[in-house]
């Protein structure tokens, strides 16, 4: 019994192999490019690491900034998911909270009573950002304690182009979403790290 040939002709075989090689080349180029973009940010870290962890999918660059453990984490986008870049900074705060840019979905959920944000009392900031916490009174007391704390928060969103900040699992997570979410220069990453350090120092004494 004769078997069916994989390709109908040599030309078809060449075409299929060519397409596979192109796809592989693009995938490899994408991984290398993402690795280079992360390594470019190593300049701001204390030890200037040279190793990026992860090949396919999420890539990570780990180090320290002003003595605090830091992870730069980049997740590529796909048809169903936005590209995402996160900076995780070690923080021993007992607080658990989230701060995010208010979008249409958040505003609609608030109007329908499906989500309840914690207002901080500043109309301009409350209109732009949504605050939440498992301990709202303690959280608001800490946030209002000094102008520097609120200043660090606003710097993250206005100068650092951050979409949301959360405090969980022993670290502050600052997230940028969308195409081009990886900071374009070490200075851009430093702006976010400086604001996170200010926020972490304050949160640890909350």
Does some domain include residue 66?
yes
CA dist., res. 176 & res. 165, Å (int):
9
Give how many domains the chain has, as a whole number: 1
pTM, full prediction: 0.79
Which residue, among 176, 159, 193, has the nearest Cα to 86 in the 3D structure?
A: 176
pLDDT tens track, the chain, 206 positions: 456 666 677 777 777 777 777 766 666 656 667 788 888 899 999 988 888 887 777 889 999 999 999 999 998 877 777 889 999 999 999 999 999 888 766 665 565 555 667 777 778 888 888 898 989 889 888 888 777 788 888 888 888 889 999 998 899 999 998 877 888 889 999 999 999 999 999 899 87
Does some domain include residue 18?
yes
> In this structure, are residues 186 and 40 in contact, taking their beta carbons and an 8 Å threshold?
yes
Does some domain include residue 5?
no
Q: Which domain holds residue 162?
A: 10-203
DSSP secondary structure, 144-189, as one string: HH-HHHHHHHHHHHHTS--SEEEEETTEEEEEEESTT-S-SSHHHH
CA dist., res. 47 & res. 73, Å (int):
17
> In this structure, are residues 203 and 91 in contact, taking their beta carbons and an 8 Å threshold?
yes
Does some domain include residue 3?
no
Does some domain include residue 59?
yes
Two tokens, residue 145: 């304690």
Q: Coil, strand, or helix at residue 142? A: helix
Q: Is 121 left (phi over 0), alpha (psi -120 to 50) or beta?
A: left
């Amino acid at each position: 019994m004769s078997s069916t040939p994989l390709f109908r002709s040599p030309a078809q075989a060449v075409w299929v192999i060519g397409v596979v090689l192109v796809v592989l080349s693009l995938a490899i180029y994408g991984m290398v490019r993402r690795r280079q973009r992360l390594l470019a940010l190593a300049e701001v870290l204390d030890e200037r690491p040279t190793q990026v962890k992860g090949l396919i999918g999420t890539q990570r660059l780990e180090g320290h900034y002003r003595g605090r453990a830091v992870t730069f984490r980049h997740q590529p986008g796909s048809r169903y998911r936005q590209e995402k870049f996160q900076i995780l900074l070690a923080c021993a705060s007992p607080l658990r909270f989230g701060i995010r840019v208010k979008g249409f979905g958040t505003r609609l959920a608030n109007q329908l009573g499906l989500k309840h944000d914690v207002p901080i009392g500043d109309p301009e900031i409350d209109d732009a950002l949504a605050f939440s916490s498992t301990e709202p009174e303690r959280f608001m007391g800490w946030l209002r304690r000094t102008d520097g704390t609120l200043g660090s928060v606003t710097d993250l969103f206005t100068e650092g182009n951050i979409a949301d900040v959360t405090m969980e699992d022993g670290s502050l997570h600052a997230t940028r979403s969308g195409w081009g979410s990886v900071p374009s220069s070490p200075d851009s990453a430093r702006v976010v790290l400086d604001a996170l350090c200010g926020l972490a120092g304050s949160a640890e004494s909350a």
